Each structure stands twice: as structure tokens, then as C-alpha cells.
Amino acid sequence: MQQAFAGRSYWVKADITSHSYYPDKNIHYFDLVEKDERSGIVARVAANAWGNGSRQIKAFELITGQPFRNNIHVLVEVTVSYHQVHGLQVTVQDVDISFTIGQLEKQKQQTLARLLAENADAIRLAEGRYITRNQELPLPPVIQRIAVVTSGNSAGYQDFHHTLVNNGFGYTFQLDTYFTVVQGEANAELVQQRMVDVFQSGRAYDVVVIIRGGGAQTDFLLFDSYQLGRVVARFPIPVITGIGHQKNETVADMMAHTAVKTPTKAAELIIAHNRSYEDALLQYRQRILVRAQQTLAAGNRQMYLLQQDIIHQSRNILEVGREQLLHMRHGIGRGAEKLLRQPQQQLRFMQAALLTRPLSVLQREQEKLRQQQQFFRMLAPERMLRRGFALVYKDGQLVKDAEDISAGNTITIQLQDTAIQAVVQSKSNTDERGTDI
């Protein structure tokens, strides 16, 4: 029987079970099993890998990020031997890495196709990129209230928490944890339920962060599940994923608002987002300061120009006023001179009138005086006496009225050259109209 398998190798598709590894000997022991969806395991054979086979398993783990362990589906090249004591034995010589990767990718593509077909209202494909309802949600300007879906003992959560809390900008955050198992395809429903718990909490979270601390490729299979992909795509709060894988992009990453590689990167993303808002505020403040300075400078410039204009206009007004004053002064001088000339002329007229008028008056008065002199000369006593008149004195007083003389009175009659003493015998009235002087 040994000779029947000698020099021959076979490629076998099988699942790994009962795996154990001995590092000191660099030997793997496991079973290769064939499974049926209805009846379970239908065939089993013991296998091992050492030497070249062990080296190929190590290469498989390095390239896929998937440890060689139980419950993975592989395509391996084996040789068969038979021992009388140990029986039939299978030794792994090589592992088809592309087969495992292809199987996982095939499952993911099937999940994505189903998501598109059954959730057309929330997921669409545009230019090779999946656009989801969650991705179209706006991030709040500042992220502070955060729901974290993660494993309770996750080193990734510790990294996330440490990076977020010890940020260099002094930002503070409210972190609410929703712990669950975040590995193993069968646990997708547990993660989905924790997302439902976040939704039903009634708390106004800014974002939901799904994180884990890395692991093998098959550890991320739950993030390629239809259930989790659907809930992330439809979730009404922006979802950030940071599940610790460095090579592949999971379905949950494609459906989430924002996907980063690690929990630390998720924390850095949130800090950078808040910092961006603060920078924008600082820029706005700087713009306001610059605009205020520009406005102030413009105002000062306008004030300066206005001041210069006022000075210029004032000077013009003063100059015009000065010219008007000069004209007025000249006008006043001329007017005053004219006004003065008029009284002077009037004075000259008056002077001339005064000079000529007294002379005529004087002449008239002199003429009157001459006439009066002639009259008085005519009335002079001596002349009257020469004409035959006489003066009568009584008791040395000139008699002016005949009533002053009575019969028996002694009177003196003064003629031109003679004075006569007489005694009044009688007196009688005479008619004066017959008197001829």
C-alpha cells in the first residue's frame, strides 16, 4: 500500500480541525475534514506538516494575516503514506494561499451584491464605490459624545481611549461603551444587537465607533457579514470603524461613514476633526480681526480724507470770506466816503447858506434899525419940542395921563427953550382927531 502512494501528491480542499502546533519541533498536527451543510462532517483524515510544509504554513499566515488553525477552509497539497502501526497518514507539503484569499473575497462579494439588491434605498454603487445612507450623514462640527462598540478586554479600545483622552489640545469627550464579542463570524448578531442598543438608548451621540485590536483574517469575518453591513449602512448616526486590519477592507468599512485601519487612527481622526473646527474658528477670528483692522483703517482713512476736505473747504470758505471782507471793506470805505461826502456837501451848502443868509438878515435888520432910528429921532423930545410940543411935569414927574392933573395943581410946562410954572385953573376934554402934529 505504501508503494501505491509513493512519489505522488494531491491537492485537497478541506477544513482544519483538532489543530495543535509544537514550536520547538516546528510541527503541526491537525485533521482535514469534509463538511456537508446538512449532515456535517462526512470525511476525516489525520494530517501533519513539518519541514517544507511547516514553512509554507508560516508563509500562508504572513501573507493572509490568518493563523493556520481550526475552522478555516484551505486548499493544501498533501502526500500520503501508510505505516503499519500509525496507519494512513497525510503530510501537508504546500498551502494554496490564493485559494483561501479567494474564498474570503468571494464570500465578501456575495455579501455586497446582496446588500445592493436588498437595500436599494440605503446603498448604491457609484463609480466603483459604495454610497450608503450612513455616509451621507453630516458629521457634527465637534465630536464629543461617542458610543463605542468593542470587546471588554480589547487592547484596541485601550489604545483608542488613551489616544483620545490624552490628546494634546485639551479636548474632552464623553465615552459610552457597548461591550460585546467582536470576532468570529457567528457573533455578527451580537454586534448588531449592540448597535440596536445604541439606537434605543435615546442619547444624542455624535458618532458610533466600532473598534477591535486586530487579529487574523478570519477574525474579521463578522465584519463581512450581511447583518452588520446592513445595520451600519442604515444607521442614523455616523459610524466610524477602526477594527485593526492593515490589509483588507471589510464590508462594514465599506458601509460606514468613515473607515480607518486601527483604533488609534479612529481616535486621531476624531481629534483631527475637532482640531479642524477649532482651526476654522481661529481662522474666522483672524479674518474678523483682519477685517476689523481693515475697516478701522478704512474708517481712519475716510476720517483723514474728511478732515482734509473739511480743512480745505474751511480754507476756501475763509479765503472767500476774506475776499468778501476785503470787497466789503473797500465798499464800506467807498460808501463811507460817499456818505461822508454827502454831509460835507450838505454842510458846505449849509455853510454857504449860513454865510449868505446872516448877511441878508443883517442888512434887513440894519434897515429896520435905520428905520427905527429915524422914527425914534422923529419922536425924540427935543425934536418934538422943536415942532411945538411941550412936556408937562407934576411934582418933577412927567405927566403921561391927563387924569393925573387936577385943578389947582402946580405943573411945569417944558417948551423947547423955556420952562413955565403954572397953576391949573380947570381942565376940559378935547377931540384928538383935530390934532395936527
CATH number at 260 reads 3.40.50.261
Q: Give the per-residue pLDDT at 390.
A: 83
Q: Copy the grid coordinates of residue 389.
A: 410940543
Do 220 and 170 share a structural domain? yes
pLDDT tens across 13-43, in order? Answer: 898 889 999 999 999 999 999 887 676 788 8
Higher pLDDT, 191 or 233: 233
pLDDT tens across 344-394, in order? Answer: 777 677 767 666 666 676 778 778 878 877 777 776 777 777 777 888 888
According to DSSP, the residues that pair with 243 across neighbouring strands are: none
Last residue of a domain, one of 241, 260, 276: 276
Burial class (CB in 10 A: 0-12, 13-18, 19+), 414: middle
pLDDT tens across 257-289, in order? Answer: 999 999 999 999 999 999 999 999 999 999 999
Last residue of a domain, one of 213, 245, 276: 276
Do 216 and 172 share a structural domain? yes
Q: Do the domain assignments include residue 343?
A: no
Q: Do the domain assignments include residue 207?
A: yes
Last residue of a domain, one of 223, 250, 276: 276
Residue 40 maps to which CATH number? 2.40.50.140
Handedness of CA 199, 149, 66, 33 (dihedral sign): negative
* DSSP three-state, residue 300: helix
Q: Do the domain assignments include residue 356?
A: no
Q: Give the per-residue pLDDT at 138.
A: 96
pLDDT tens across 137-164, in order? Answer: 999 999 999 999 988 777 888 999 999 9
Do 147 and 79 share a structural domain? no
pLDDT tens across 46-66, in order? Answer: 999 999 999 999 988 887 767
* DSSP three-state, residue 416: coil
- Average pLDDT of the chain is 84
Q: Give the per-residue pLDDT at 327.
A: 81
**Domain count across the chain:** 3
Q: Is the pTM of this model over 0.85?
A: no
Q: Give the per-residue pLDDT at 145.
A: 97
**Structural domain harbouring 397:** 384-427
Q: Do the domain assignments include residue 285?
A: no
Q: Copy the grid coordinates of residue 46.
A: 489525520
Q: Do the domain assignments include residue 208?
A: yes
Q: Do the domain assignments include residue 116?
A: no
According to DSSP, the residues that pair with 150 across neighbouring strands are: 179
